[in-house]
Amino acid sequence: MEENGSMCELRTHKQVQYNAVCSDFALNHNMEKLASRIGIKSGTMLRNKLNPEQPHKLDPVDLALLCKESGDFTILNTLMADLGVVTVPIPDSKEDKNFLERVLFNSVLSGEISQDALDMHSTKRLPRSVKRKTLARAQSALGNLVLLINDLERRTTGIQPLMQMGSDFFANGAPIPGLT
């Protein structure tokens, strides 16, 4: 019986979070443009699907298309958060950064998140805009880590993974004993 009670609490809590994030999404994006891109008749229909007081509901396929087209995964992340699942958008890997640049970029993003945490620690109320900005930084850091992992996987599946990593290490300025 306790399980049913906790499930209802999760459902109520999750519905409140979902309604809030859908309202924020509708305020922060151009509904007309997104509706036409994902194949919904009008921005009004999309806005209605994001409005909890309307009978229209956002179906999973529309949600996926909406997140992909807008580049904003906050609705999806809100739905998954209490399940212990985090979604990570993989950034465009057109920017060809090497392993060292990815590690250093991750340090920059971690520093920015740490600064946000220090700023949040001294405030009593966290505005939604600050929350969204910090979450966007964290998502960016996670995306960078995914590309870092992909790079490592690519490098360690070849015939000579240590030679590949070693040559990059020395090519990027590592001191060689006896030659410095």
Residue-wise pLDDT for 143-178, tens only, equals 888 888 877 877 766 555 555 566 666 566 665 555
Same domain, 119 and 77: no
pTM of the entire structure? Answer: 0.62
- Among 3-12, 43-52, 69-78, 124-133, the least confident range: 3-12
CA separation for the pair 166, 123 (Å, rounded):
46
Q: Is the pLDDT of residue 28 over 70?
A: yes
Same domain, 109 and 165: yes
Token pair in block for residue 169: 């290490």
Same domain, 71 and 14: yes
CA separation for the pair 148, 76 (Å, rounded):
24
| pLDDT grade for 30, boundaries at 50, 70 and 90 | very high
pLDDT at 7: 62
Same domain, 71 and 130: no
> Domain containing 167: what range?
99-171
Percent of the chain with pLDDT over 70: 78
Please say which residue of 16, 46, 81 terminates a domain: 81
Residue 147 belongs to a domain: yes
User: At 29, which amino acid appears?
Assistant: H
77-80 long-range contacts, Cβ below 8 Å, gap at least 24? 77/135, 77/139, 78/17, 78/18, 78/21, 79/14, 79/18
pLDDT in tens, 32-46: 999 999 999 899 999
Same domain, 69 and 112: no
> What is the distance of C-alpha 166 from the center of its chain?
32
Same domain, 119 and 74: no
Please say which residue of 52, 81, 110 terminates a domain: 81
| pLDDT grade for 10, boundaries at 50, 70 and 90 | low
Residue 120 belongs to a domain: yes
Please say which residue of 81, 109, 138 terminates a domain: 81
Note whether 50 and 22 are within 8 A (CB).
yes
CA separation for the pair 153, 68 (Å, rounded):
25
pLDDT at 123: 83
Residue 177 belongs to a domain: no
**How many domains are there within the chain?**
2
Residue 89 belongs to a domain: no
Q: Name the burial class of residue 135, with classes exposed (0-12), middle (13-18) and buried (19+) by CB atoms within 10 angstroms of its CB.
A: middle
